[in-house]
Chains A and B, each alone.
Chain A
């Protein structure tokens, strides 16, 4: 079945440092999404990437979708303490029904003030 690997599992940074999490799929994806889960909270949708090579920005967050549509990354510039949480990628394999997402294992980000 489809696998989505996400690394690193944990990342500790000092406030102001940059942070990147990477996502790799064993199969080509129709799209990829990113979610953020604050400690004790629920996953919240951040963005969806659909096109090969797509890059999208949300303030300090930059999202990329690989040319082969099998990998993606989320980069945060100059982290803040409000960035703490778990970041998940989730992808849907081409040809599968809408909504059948496979989530990566998540990257738990800790930001030290």
Chain B
């Protein structure tokens, strides 16, 4: 069974559209994250939730809105997509500092 699963794996869309990425973890962890990895492989944290509460909110445009319906799920909604949003988005979960990553969602904005 996949520990951290995110969908979809690939997302190709036009500029200006709104899209969502879903993430679920079955590890029983309290904390979940969204990371963005750009074309140069740089990994940057975007958001973190602990038990459904937002605890990390880095400098991210307001177009990005995370939602955590329960501690096993963390979704990411993106409004008005821009070309610069093209990247791989990773969901992760942790107990303590060790992060367990999902397989990633490759977002391409055309």
Complex interface: stretch among A57-65, A72-80, A97-105: A97-105
A69 contacts chain B at the CB level, 8 A cutoff: no
Query: In the complex where A42-B104, A43-B101, A45-B100 touch, is A98 in contact with B94 (Cβ < 8 A)?
Result: yes
- A37 to B42: give the CA distance in the assembly, Å: 12
A contact patch SS: strand
Residue pair B56, A42 in contact (C-beta under 8 Å): no
A33 within 8 A of partner (CB): yes
With beta carbons under 8 angstroms apart, the residue of B41, B97, B103 that contacts A99 is B97
The residue on B at minimum CB distance from A100 is B56
Are B97 and A98 touching (Cβ within 8 A)?
yes
Tell me whether A108 and B45 are in contact in the complex, defined as CB-CB below 8 angstroms, given that A42-B104, A99-B33, A99-B56 are known contacts. no
Residue of B nearest to A45 (CB): B98
Number of B residues, CB within 8 Å of A: 23
| Closest chain B CB from A111 CB (angstroms) | 17
Assess whether B25 is interfacial by the CB under 8 Å rule: no
Q: How far is the CB of B38 from chain A (nearest CB, A)?
A: 10
* CB within 8 Å for A99 and B43 given contacts A42-B102, A42-B103, A43-B99: no
Q: What are the 4 closest A-B residue pairs judged by CB atoms, nearest first?
A: A42-B101, A103-B43, A106-B41, A43-B101
* 17 A-B residue pairings within 8 Å (CB atoms): A42-B104, A43-B99, A45-B98, A88-B43, A90-B99, A92-B97, A98-B94, A98-B96, A99-B55, A99-B94, A100-B48, A101-B45, A101-B97, A103-B43, A106-B41, A106-B43, A108-B41
